[in-house]
């Protein structure tokens, strides 16, 4: 019958704009945006605020996720660019990645509309908590390394490629759980939990965590619970969710941004001593059976069961690299070809040394993607999760 996957907890409709520095510079000029106004943490209450926010992210060469005051702001910016409609959310992108290699799943959604019905693969089942259609799109801005935008007579140049997400999505923010979730979990082998980062009210968060604790008791005794962390719209909630998931999850996964946020310090991702120290410190904070950290250079698992997931790490790395190379339109053959690419040399050296420094650790180097001219930077963590889980389904 194969592994039965339920992936939650919410998906999104994304408006992915085609990077166009000319249009962005025009918007900056139209709104009279000055260099001293560029601040990644400014509230996004208007189109003007959103444009200034994007420019700040480009200047700093980093990515992030920001709340906007209304979906009209998203639409107001998207209409100025060439825009493509796609599906997002960790559970949905993971399900799509799994579908590409023939592994079916069921996703738990909190909203639905015709875009979702049209774009979700036929192999993906749906459990939905929404009782009517809604559309609250997320704006996705991807920029390449060397992206250059002229503002106030000065060129802003991005050192690294990255992505920014802007959204006001009430169903996602509420993250209501479907009444039938526990019934579905009774015959589930693996339950993925994600999207808790978007909740903005403490009472809502506490309620969803309590419901999840009850629902997971329906899982078979040998089922796995995996949690994928993310950047929190309310930073204070990060520790609340972390501590709850440390008691609930068998596999706790996060990227380098979340690793550094929890430790409140930067980590040199190519220094084996710094990485080993950071991972050990985080594992003390999150004492789960398996802690997974995925980055652009490597992915690792630490814990007594870590070795069981070595192939899953390779699968996650290869799937994310395939998306990085080819965007949404990749196939099982593309995935297989990516798996044969050479690995990042510095990542490989670090992987070997980290395994020596940590007990019960598995570390796998990422592929060398330096030759990719136009990478896709959105959804790589979600796609890593899809590749990680697909490996379980292909066994």
DSSP string, 49-93: HHHHHHHHHHHHT--EEEEBS-HHHHHHHHTTS-EEEEEESHHHH
What pLDDT, in 10s, does the model give residues 90-101? 999 999 999 999
Of 280, 257, 271, the closest CA to residue 350 belongs to 271
Structure tokens that stand for 285 in this block: 């904070």
Q: Which domains does the chain have, with CATH numbers?
A: 5-12+89-130+182-394 (3.40.1190.20), 21-80+135-170 (3.30.1110.20)
Is pLDDT of 218 > 80? yes
Instruction: Band the pLDDT of 2: cuts 50, 70, 90.
Output: low
Burial of 89 (0-12, 13-18, 19+ CB in 10 A): buried
The confidence score (pLDDT) of residue 1 equals 41
For the segment 141-162, the average pLDDT, to the nearest whole number, is 92
- Spatial strand order of the sheet with 290-294 comes to 124-128, 105-109, 5-7, 190-193, 224-228, 251-255, 290-294, 298-302, 361-365
The H or E element that residue 251 is part of is strand 251-255
Residue showing tokens 């995996």: 226
Helices (H), 112-197: 114-119, 170-174, 181-185
Those residues whose C-beta lies under 8 Å from the C-beta of residue 370, and which sit 6 or more positions away, are: none
pLDDT digits over 337-395, tens only? 999 999 999 999 999 999 999 999 999 999 999 999 888 888 999 999 999 999 999 98
Give the residue among 87, 117, 120, 123 at the shortest CA–CA distance from 105: 123
């Amino acid at each position: 019958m194969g592994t039965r996957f339920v992936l939650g907890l919410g998906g999104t409709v994304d408006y992915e704009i085609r990077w166009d520095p000319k249009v962005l510079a025009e918007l900056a000029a139209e709104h009279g945006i000055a260099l001293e106004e560029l601040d990644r943490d400014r509230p996004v209450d208007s189109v003007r605020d959103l444009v200034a926010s994007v420019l700040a992210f480009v200047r700093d060469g980093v990515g992030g996720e920001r709340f906007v005051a209304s979906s009209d702001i998203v639409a107001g910016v998207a209409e100025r660019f060439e825009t493509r409609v796609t599906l997002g959310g960790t559970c949905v992108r993971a399900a799509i990645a799994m579908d590409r290699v023939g592994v079916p799943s069921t996703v738990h959604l909190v909203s639905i509309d015709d875009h979702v019905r049209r774009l979700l693969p036929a192999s993906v089942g749906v459990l939905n908590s929404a009782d009517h259609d809604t559309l609250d799109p997320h704006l996705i801005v991807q920029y390449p390394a060397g992206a250059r935008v002229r503002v106030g007579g000065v060129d802003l140049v991005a050192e690294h490629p990255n992505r920014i997400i802007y959204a006001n999505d009430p169903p996602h923010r509420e993250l209501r759980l479907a009444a039938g979730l526990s019934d579905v979990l009774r015959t589930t082998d693996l339950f993925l939990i994600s999207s808790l980062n978007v909740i903005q009210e403490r009472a809502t968060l506490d309620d969803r965590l309590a419901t999840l604790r009850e629902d997971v008791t329906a899982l078979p005794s040998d089922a796995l619970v995996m949690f994928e962390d993310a950047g929190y719209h309310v930073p204070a909630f990060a520790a609340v969710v972390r501590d709850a998931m440390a008691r609930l999850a068998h596999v706790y996964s996060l990227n380098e941004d979340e690793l550094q946020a929890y430790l409140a310090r930067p980590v040199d991702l190519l220094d084996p001593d710094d990485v080993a120290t950071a991972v050990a410190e985080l594992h003390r904070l999150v004492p789960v059976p398996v802690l997974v950290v995925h980055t652009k250079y490597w992915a690792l698992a630490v814990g007594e069961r870590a070795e069981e997931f070595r192939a899953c790490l390779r699968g996650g790395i290869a799937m994310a690299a395939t998306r990085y190379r080819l965007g949404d339109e990749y196939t099982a053959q593309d995935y297989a070809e990516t798996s044969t690419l050479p690995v990042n040399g510095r990542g490989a050296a670090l992987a070997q040394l980290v395994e020596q420094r940590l007990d019960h650790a598995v570390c796998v180097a990422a592929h060398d993607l330096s030759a990719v001219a136009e990478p896709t930077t959105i959804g790589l963590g979600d796609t890593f999760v899809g590749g990680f889980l697909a490996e379980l389904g292909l066994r």
